[in-house]
Structures are given as structure tokens and as C-alpha cells.
Amino acid sequence: MAVLVREHTTVHRGQGPTITRQRRRAFLVLALPAVVLYTIFFVGPTVASFWVSLHAWDGVTEMRWRGLDNFTLLFEDEVFLAAFRNTLAILLAGGVLVFLLSFALLLGMRAMTGRRFARSVIFFPNIIAPIVLSVLWGFLFSTDGLVNAALGGMGLDAPNWLGDHLFLVIFLGLIWTNTGFYVTILMASTDRIPRYFYEAAELDGAGPLQQFKHITMPLTWDVVTISAVIWTISSLKVFDFIYAFGGTSNDLPPIHTWNTAVFIYGQTFGGRVPAYSFGYASASAVITLVSVVVFVLLLRRVMRRDPIQF
């Protein structure tokens, strides 16, 4: 017995650290390729853009130190300010509309037959190239396109959408293409709420809106929060959809429709005569990144509530 115990302890002492060491080595071997690639080609450039934003640089000649001048210049640049306003409009007003529309669709589709099919159709734009969506959307709103044909049919004036209201068209298009994603997420989480909650509420005389306010909202709050974070991030990434609207007229879309992503492209590689102002564009990249962080933190703060278990 004593021998056995001693044997056991020695075995334990001998092997324990080797196993942990072995496990640690295995951990490293497995994770290393991804970590290396990600660090060199993703994290490195992210950090570098902060450094570049403090310089004047065309990518070829020597960098010249400018300190924070790029940033002060940006905030006096009408083009950038307009682009930043557009980005915020998409993020905030667009976000509110996307979520209102998603909830409306959710309520409308609750009792619908064939809702799975409906959901697949609404989700569909998410797997299509934004450029294609942009072409289709632009075509709908063209001077003799379907929207104007419909307006004309109702005896209304047909505005020159793509000429006079291009940003509005883009804005609505973004809402159209994105809503399906949020409907899908929210539908998955509302489907988890037991039916008898609603039955009980109905017996108590609660209407659909009251049920929505007192049952659906509180129980899906977590998912709503995460969806809002996803919207924040993805709305700042929008590029292709806006860019493609420049396709038939010029290399870049009209300046008043730019968001910060198009601004960065326009200041560097885009246009007929690329500007290659790497430092200046990096400053706006830094502002974009800071906005992501600020908005995500704010959202988490504002929307934090105690989770409800059910």
C-alpha cells in the first residue's frame, strides 16, 4: 500500500509538468499560423495607420512628420465633414429605421404561413455582392425606371432620383439590403420565447403592442444589444454599395454621397488621378476606428440591463 502510494506520487510529480508543457506546446503549434498571419497582415497595419496618420506621405518618398496637423485639417475639410455626417446618418438614422422595420416585419410575420420561406427571401440580399444590389437599386430609381413608372401611374410627379436625391436613394437601399439580416437574428430569438407567455398575456387582455413591449422586448434584449453592435460595425464598413453608384457617371460617386470609407479610397487610390495622400487618409481611418470603439462602448453602456433567465 505504502509502495503504491509512493509510486503514485512520483508518477504524478514526474508527469504533471511534462503534460502541461506538452499541452502548452501543442497549443502554440495549433494557434501559431493564424496568430502570425493575423498579426502581420491585420494587426500590424491597424497599428501602423496610427503612425502614418501623423505624417505626410505618398507611400514612395520619405515620410514627413506633421503631428496632429492632419486631424485639424480634416475637421476643416468640407468634404470630410460631409462624409462623416453621411456615415453618422447611416449609423444612427439608418440604424433606427432598420430596427423599426425589423420589428414591424417580425410582428407582421408572426402568424404568417410560409414564414420560413419569407425569411429566406428577405435574407437573400446578404449573400449578393453589394455592387450588384447597387446596380439593381440604381436601376429601379433611374429616370425611366420602375419607381418613377409606378409614381407616374399614380399620377404623381417623378423626381430625378439619381440626380437630385442620390444619397437618399443610397440610404434607403442600405436599409433594404440590411434589414433581412436583423429580422433573421431577432426571429431566431423570439422563436425561443414559450408560447404560453403570450397566451397568458392575451387572457389578461394585452394587445399585440403591449405583448411586444412587455414580453418580446425584455426577453430579446440581449440579442437586440448584440444586433445593434453588429449594425454599428457593419454600417462603418459600407463601401461597395455607395461606390458602385459612381460606375456609370465617373470613377467615384458624387462627393455629397461619400461616407468615410469612400473618402479614404478617394484620397488614396480612387478617382481618375489618384491622390495618394496616405497620411491624410490615415487620419480619417483613425477617426473611423475611434468611432467604432466609442459607439460600441456607448451602446454597451446605454443598453446594459440585467439579463432575464427563462
Partner 1 sequence: MVVVNLAVLAWMLITSLREHREIFASPFAWPSFAWDNYAEAWRSADFGVAAANSLVLVATAAPAVVVVAAPAGYALGRSIGRAAASLTLYFALGIGVPVQVIVIPLFVLMERLSLVNNLFGLFLLYVTVSLPFTVFLLTGYFASLPAELEEAAAIDGASRLRTFWTIMLPLARSGLITALILNAIGLWNEAFLALVFVQSTDKQTLPLALLGFLAKQQYSGADYGVLFAGVTILVLPMLLLYVWLGRRIVEGMTLGTGK
Q: Which of residues 142-161 bind partner 1 (CB under 8 A)?
A: 144, 146, 149
Size of the site for partner 1 (CB under 8 A): 86
Instruction: Give the integer Cα–Cα distance in Å for 143 and 160.
Output: 6
Segment 28-47, which members bind partner 1 (CB under 8 A)?
Answer: 29-31, 33-35, 37-38, 40-46
CA-angle at 287, arms to 72 and 300, nearest 5°:
135
**Phi–psi pair at 64, nearest 5 degrees:** -115, 130
CB of 298 to partner 1, least distance (A): 14
Q: Which is nearer to partner 1, 152 or 207 (CB)?
A: 152
Instruction: Give the integer Cα–Cα distance in Å for 143 and 204.
Output: 53
Task: Locate 26 and state its grid cell.
Answer: 501543442
CB of 209 to partner 1, least distance (A): 21
The closest alpha carbon to 74, from 250, 228, 267, 308, belongs to 267
Segment 73-132, which members bind partner 1 (CB under 8 A)?
Answer: 105, 118-132
Looking at this protein, which amino acid is placed at residue 16?
A: G
Helix, strand, or coil (residue 133): helix
Q: Exposed, middle or buried by CB within 10 Å (0-12, 13-18, 19+), for 20? A: exposed
CB of 190 to partner 1, least distance (A): 11
* Segment interacting with partner 1 (CB under 8 A) among 66-74, 77-85, 203-211, 236-244: 236-244
> Hey, how many other C-beta atoms are within 10 angstroms of the C-beta on 175?
18
Segment 193-222, which members bind partner 1 (CB under 8 A)?
Answer: 222
Q: Which is nearer to partner 1, 100 or 132 (CB)?
A: 132
Q: Which is nearer to partner 1, 167 or 180 (CB)?
A: 180
CB of 46 to partner 1, least distance (A): 5
Q: Which is nearer to partner 1, 144 or 204 (CB)?
A: 144
Q: Does residue 226 interact with partner 1 by CB under 8 A? A: yes
Q: Does residue 239 interact with partner 1 by CB under 8 A? A: yes
DSSP H stretches of helix in 154-194: 161-164, 166-190
Instruction: Give the integer Cα–Cα distance in Å for 126 and 296.
Output: 23
The closest alpha carbon to 135, from 149, 145, 124, belongs to 145
Instruction: Give the integer Cα–Cα distance in Å for 86 and 105.
Output: 26
Q: Which is nearer to partner 1, 215 or 264 (CB)?
A: 264
Segment 161-190, which members bind partner 1 (CB under 8 A)?
Answer: 176, 179, 181, 184-185, 188-189
Q: Which is nearer to partner 1, 32 or 210 (CB)?
A: 32
